[in-house]
Amino acid sequence: MISTPPNIDRRQQSRHLVDELKKERQEVWSMYCRVAELKPFSPQQKVQLKLTEFSQLLVDYISLGHFGIYDRLVTGDERRAGVLNVAEQIYPELSKTTDVAIAFNDKYEDALQALNLETLEHDLSHLGEHLAIRIDLEDKLCNMLLN
């Protein structure tokens, strides 16, 4: 969970949250690419360890969006109706992307669990599609927050 520095105004808090979200998003996307580059997947420990590391980053990133950005909006810190309207419009689709990410995490986070190679490529592709959707939605919301 991100903590915003004390004694900064709402605009600075928004900027801080958006910057942190974009930083984590870049880390997740970078790690996603490193996992995808391991194809063809094999039952090596290296694949499972990368998946575990990726899953941890993924959950942190998803959590920041929900408990950082959205929490700020729903707790009443955001007063601009336009921002709240955009957030309300994109939330259902963003929630779907969260569900896909959490399902992926639940399936692949455990390095001690047997790796299901038959579904990994499909699951990774499915997750990638939803991450792309999430990035577009976040960008809309972040642009509204910063303007």
pLDDT tens, residue by residue, 2-13: 455 554 577 788
66 against 7, higher pLDDT: 66
Scanning the chain, the segments in alpha helix (DSSP H) are 10-36, 45-64, 71-74, 81-108, 117-146
**Residue 43 pLDDT grade (very low, low, confident, very high; cuts 50, 70, 90):** confident
3 against 57, higher pLDDT: 57
**Per-residue pLDDT tens digits for 127-147:** 999 999 999 999 998 888 888
**Distance (Å, whole) CA 140 – CA 2:** 21
**Distance (Å, whole) CA 135 – CA 147:** 18
Whether 79 and 128 have beta carbons less than 8 Å apart is answered as no
Q: Is the pLDDT of residue 103 over 90?
A: yes
Q: Is the pLDDT of residue 14 over 50?
A: yes
**Per-residue pLDDT tens digits for 70-100:** 777 777 777 788 888 888 899 899 999 999 9
Across the chain, mean pLDDT equals: 87
